[in-house]
Structure 1
Amino acid sequence: MIINWAYFRKGCASCQKAQESLGRTKIQIKKEVNARQEPLEAQKTWDLLADSNKILIASGNKIREYSPGPDKKEEILKIVLGRSGTLRAPTLKIGNTFYIGYSNEMYDELVGKG
């Protein structure tokens, strides 16, 4: 599996779980970004997400799927930005799909693709 872009925050329990899940498979991360050193606020986040085909967002036990478009911007940003107003970690970009947040179900499916 090739991960085009990975966004992790040190000390983040969900990020640690994500990295452990990914560590069980053969993966290559082309670019890894430290969320504390390079926080992405609303506009930068939208610039990143807007050209994707699909966005999968893990929130609690739910996984929501979105196709980005101008009419979805506010709705998507409300979910993908944390309390600090920056992109939630972990976030992965695989192909033209973003995976935001962590759930066992979402990462089990990703690892299965590896």
Structure 2
Amino acid sequence: MGDNDITITEQIPASKKLAEADAKSLIKAASKLYVAKGKKLSEFKLGAKPDPEAVAAMLGPTGNLRAPTIVRGKTLIVGFNEELFAELLG
């Protein structure tokens, strides 16, 4: 993130597992969600209530929040996609 002058304000170690409740909490503060799984990229426009499909997309096979998870303003990015990072994060 240092290459793009992005400051990390909070970093949570992988040993602290974040689950479905954490995903719902993150969604409540966001208006747009991008989820990257390999080369597949999904985009969700979020409303007042957490969309069950969006929550499920954020979770990995173990039921934990996928990494990395980035909050930038009202945009939430889950998973790694180099092109998406370049577009949204500069």
Q: Report the TM-score range of the alignment, normalised by the length of the smaller protein.
A: 0.7 to 0.9
* Counterpart Cα distance in 1 of 2:40 and 2:62: 22
Count of residue pairs the alignment pairs up: 89
AA matched with 2:71 = K
1:56 to 10, 34, 42: 34
Higher relative contact order (CA 8 A, sep 6+): 1
Question: Does 2:3 align with 1:24?
Answer: yes
The structure that is strand-richer by fraction is 1
Aligned-residue identity in percent: 31
What runs of 5+ residues in structure 2 fail to find an aligned partner? none
AA matched with 2:20 = A
Question: Does 2:72 align with 1:94?
Answer: yes
Where do 4+ consecutive residues of structure 1 move more than 4 Å?
Answer: none
What runs of 5+ residues in structure 1 fail to find an aligned partner? 1-21
Aligned equivalent of 2:14: 35
Query: CA RMSD of the aligned region, Å?
Result: 1.6
The structure that is helix-richer by fraction is 1
| Superposition TM-score, scaled by structure 2 size | 0.84
